[in-house]
Structure 1
Amino acid sequence: MGILSKILEVKRREVQEARRREPLSRLQRRAQEAPPARPFVERLSAPGPAGANVIAEIKRASPSKGTIRSHLDPPSHAWAYQRAGAAALSVLTDRSFFQGSEQDLQSARTAVSLPVLRKDFVIDEYQIYEARAMGADAVLLIVRAVSPSFLRDALSLCRELGLGALVEVHDERELETALACDAPLVGVNNRDLATFRTDIQTSIRLKTLLPAHTPLVAESGIGSRQDVETLLEAGIFNFLVGTSLVRAPDPERALQSLLGTAPTRQGI
């Protein structure tokens, strides 16, 4: 919980500063005037053409990995992901710990037709209106970062605004909370926040506790086609993949390899 606690402490200050810069009432008007959101949860409700859906991530850095790709160009990466068959994008907007920004999300979304998840640490309704105003199609809600009552209210607000929501859990207790709050889409983070080690067996274990009608997204620790196939065998067909794609010299080819659709050399 060390790094998460630090992030949330900084995030609370950032939200206070944002409220001073732009009152909630003005932000709400901008959110209501934003174009309709692209369908996010719907895109992940069934396997895609390759038998799997990948939410391909755009991020410059992370607390566990440091700088991943400092000169990342969000539109170029977004376009490469779409060409490769991504189902959706995830864009980091946290500046302090991930070097992300609202501009990264907007420029990536403008470049493609895919739905875009705002990946940040949402702890206040202000950030949900902010996400819709900046053009996001869905938000990440982390069970460990908020109270059950806030999670329930946040999901209600997302429905009101037409935003999708990915509710992230790390263990059985958090999954129970997510389901009690009617999470439409559950993400299982395979990273242990205490040790930063990843284990895709976490997703496989929690999948057995999930109702059949609730889709699951496996997050973190997915870096090879073998990882994807192991999870597919467990009935998991949605994957959020970041570091391995961002670091790849050819992100389009890297995503095709994960999906099992990379062309043979003869076909290149």
Structure 2
Amino acid sequence: MTLLPDPADLVRSAGLPARSHLQRVLASELVRLAELPAAPSSRAFLREPGSFESALRRDAETRGGAVIAEYKQASPSLGPFAAGTPMLPQLQAYRDGGASAFSILAEPVHFRGDAAHLTAAAPLAMPRLYKGFVIAEAQLAEAEACGAEAVLLIARVLRNHTAAFADAARRRGLEPLVELHDLTEVPFAQAAEARLVGINARDLSTFTLGVPTAAPLRKAFPEAVLIRESGLATPEDARAALRAGFDALLIGEALMRSADPRGFLERIFADLRQESR
């Protein structure tokens, strides 16, 4: 088992601009770590595909695409754009609309998230991603304690420690979803033997959007579930991303802003069915 680096050293070594959104979030997480115990794991080492990966693969095969539907109330760039949205009705709408899994924000300061939200979502019996900014074992312990099936690992932050964090996640029974922002980060995910690989269209330093494609990722990760994250404002955007070769999509802001999140998701899958005829 590889020891994880000191969190403060890890954040410094990431070399992010001091005023970037991501650096601000990491700085607040460093403060929060003082309140989090790195409890021992009670789960078995994860050696086989877990329920999160299995749900995405099932829907990608049977419907032509899977959706990880996200609950978040705020972001550093948008502020509290969906503050006060009741969580359980929102997640119920996601499930009824055909979502394959949930992503739930755990970072409290900039995203108004809470690990307790993952625990509260358990009765809906859907796989849950702990969406946080992991830089320490204590956050993996928090993800395990709240019942998450999967955990986000950001390669831009973890860099050559990504594999060590993925191993630490699996030792807690957590499925690591390794998030990339450009192709220079591919080797970090390969070293981590990632089975879930996300590419974020949003630059977390500037929060500007690009349009990633799946082809180079499929070449690098022929067996992985490829996930497009961010920048999907409409069902048509979602369909185009799946057509571009992604297996799954992570959609947050558009669903949180939608007056009908269930209908938003249903339109994605209706479009997929029409295309398959």
Q: Which residue of 1 aligns with 2:156?
A: 144
Gaps of 5+ in 1: 263-268
Does the Cα contact within 8 Å between 2:227 and 2:248 map onto a contact in 1? yes
- Specify which of 184, 187, 190 is matched with residue 198 of structure 2: 187
Alignment of 1:76-87 (within 5 A): 76-87=89-100
Q: Which residue of 1 aligns with 2:12?
A: none
Q: Using the alignment, how far apart are the partners of 1:212 and 1:76 within structure 2? A: 37
- Report the CA distance between 1:48 and its aligned residue: 5.1
Q: Which residue of 2 aligns with 1:211?
A: 221
Does the Cα contact within 8 Å between 2:23 and 2:205 map onto a contact in 1? no
- Specify which of 245, 248, 262 is matched with residue 238 of structure 1: 248
Does the Cα contact within 8 Å between 1:38 and 1:115 map onto a contact in 2? no
- Specify which of 36, 42, 49 is matched with residue 32 of structure 1: 42
TM-score (norm 1): 0.86
Q: Using the alignment, how far apart are the partners of 2:22 and 2:117 within structure 1? A: 22
- Report the CA distance between 1:39 and its aligned residue: 0.8
Code of the residue aligned with 2:36 in structure 1: it is: A
Q: Using the alignment, how far apart are the partners of 2:213 and 2:30 within structure 1? A: 30
Q: Using the alignment, how far apart are the partners of 1:94 and 1:175 within structure 2? A: 25
Q: Which residue of 2 aligns with 1:67?
A: 80
Q: Using the alignment, how far apart are the partners of 1:138 and 1:208 within structure 2? A: 21
Give SS of 1:32's match: coil
Give SS of 2:179's match: strand
For residues 33-69 of structure 1, the C-alpha deviation after alignment (integer angstroms, 9 at most, x for no partner) is 79x9961122223515432100000001011221121
Q: Which residue of 1 aligns with 2:107?
A: 94
Q: Which residue of 1 aligns with 2:13?
A: none
Q: Using the alignment, how far apart are the partners of 1:227 and 1:235 within structure 2? A: 13
Give SS of 2:109's match: coil
**Percentage identity across paired residues of the two chains:** 33
Alignment of 1:115-130 (within 5 A): 115-130=127-142
Q: Using the alignment, how far apart are the partners of 1:166 and 1:115 within structure 2? A: 13
Correspondence 1:156 to 2:156: no
Code of the residue aligned with 2:210 in structure 1: it is: D
Q: Using the alignment, how far apart are the partners of 1:242 and 1:132 within structure 2? A: 22
- Specify which of 169, 173, 181 is matched with residue 170 of structure 1: 181
Q: Which residue of 2 aligns with 1:42?
A: 54
Distance change (3 Å), C-alpha of 1:214 and 1:139: same
- Report the CA distance between 1:197 and its aligned residue: 2.1
Q: Using the alignment, how far apart are the partners of 1:177 and 1:38 within structure 2? A: 21
Question: RMSD of aligned C-alpha atoms?
Answer: 2.2
Distance change (3 Å), C-alpha of 1:222 and 1:183: same
Code of the residue aligned with 1:128 in structure 2: it is: L
Q: Which residue of 2 aligns with 1:199?
A: 210
Q: Using the alignment, how far apart are the partners of 2:265 and 2:61 within structure 1? A: 14
Gaps of 5+ in 2: 1-15, 273-277
Q: Using the alignment, how far apart are the partners of 2:251 and 2:203 within structure 1? A: 16
Does the Cα contact within 8 Å between 2:36 and 2:139 map onto a contact in 1? no
Q: Using the alignment, how far apart are the partners of 1:141 and 1:102 within structure 2? A: 16
Q: Which residue of 2 aligns with 1:225?
A: 235
For residues 155-200 of structure 1, the C-alpha deviation after alignment (integer angstroms, 9 at most, x for no partner) is 1122222211110000011122111221121110001234322223
Q: Which residue of 1 aligns with 2:275?
A: none
Does the Cα contact within 8 Å between 1:50 and 1:261 map onto a contact in 2? no
Does the Cα contact within 8 Å between 2:155 and 2:180 map onto a contact in 1? yes
Alignment of 1:99-110 (within 5 A): 99-110=112-123
Correspondence 1:13 to 2:23: no
Distance change (3 Å), C-alpha of 1:171 and 1:147: closer
